[in-house]
Amino acid sequence: ADLWGACRRRCFCVTCLHAFCPHCCDAHHSPRQLHLVIRVDVVNSHAGGRRLVFATHYSDGEPIYPSHVQDTIASEDYATWLPRDAFCLLCHAAFSAAACRDHHGRHHGPRVPEAVLRIEERGVRHCVRCTGSEWWFPYVEMILDDPVHEDGEDQLLPVLTAKPGTCMQCGYRPFEPLGRNDAFLCSTGCSQRHQSQLAGRRQRRNAWRAARGLPRHATFDHLQI
């Protein structure tokens, strides 16, 4: 995922009455759900400031929406760039929490467990803030490094990155998955080294939690959803 990217509110949903980022919330405001979406552009004016440009009338001169909606559109912030500080495991996408508030409620609803990860920058690395007791933790712990910060029960675990199409362990060999459980590993040797390193990180995290009287991290062995 492109966690270094940034988002910006570029559209306004007249149906929901709020601005949104098309990268973060495009599916929620799709035409098939009968949402009226207005594109909003920020342009530089001759006076040196900025102004908003968006449609207000149809080609026949009829207004697209009531006048009070126009004021609401104009009151939103379309200029500020927002960091991609969240990742949804259900959408398989990074997004800005500020641009897509209540992401889980809007996109997935109460029938499925929430799977939004909080992402924070720490130096040149992106980290997941978690306690390890989250239901989704066993699904992502293989890409999380040793913690770089601790805050109560929370830890910041750096995301281990790899180039698309390469082995997540060695990073160089052609991507040739061994099987379902080794989907991002290229060989038996890389799989063994990966499992050994994963076990070491898990052991260190559990030792840290045990020293503080906290329960062990969630694993697939006792996972209940």
Confidence of residue 222 (pLDDT cuts 50, 70, 90): very low
Same domain, 67 and 127: no
Same domain, 215 and 177: yes
CA dist list (Å): 218 to 26, 197, 204, 224: 33, 17, 14, 10
Same domain, 98 and 206: no
- The neighbouring-strand residues paired with 121 are 126
Q: Which of 31-35, 64-68, 73-77, 202-206 has the lowest mean pLDDT?
A: 31-35
SS3 of 151, please?
strand
149 contacts 98 by C-beta, under 8 angstroms: no
Same domain, 153 and 52: no
| Whole-number Å distance between alpha carbons of 160 and 147 | 12
Q: Among 64, 91, 118, which residue terminates a domain?
A: 118
For residue 156, the enclosing domain spans 123-222
Confidence of residue 223 (pLDDT cuts 50, 70, 90): very low
Same domain, 30 and 96: yes
Position 175 pLDDT exceeds 90: no
Position 168 pLDDT exceeds 90: no
Same domain, 112 and 1: yes
Q: Among 60, 86, 118, which residue terminates a domain?
A: 118
Same domain, 100 and 62: yes
CA dist list (Å): 69 to 14, 53, 63: 7, 15, 11
Q: Among 118, 153, 178, which residue terminates a domain?
A: 118
Same domain, 87 and 128: no
What local confidence, expressed as pLDDT, does residue 221 receive? 52
Same domain, 3 and 46: yes
Domains: count for the chain: 2
| Whole-number Å distance between alpha carbons of 194 and 175 | 15
127 contacts 146 by C-beta, under 8 angstroms: no
What local confidence, expressed as pLDDT, does residue 210 receive? 85
SS3 of 202, please?
helix
Tokens read off for 214? 């906290």
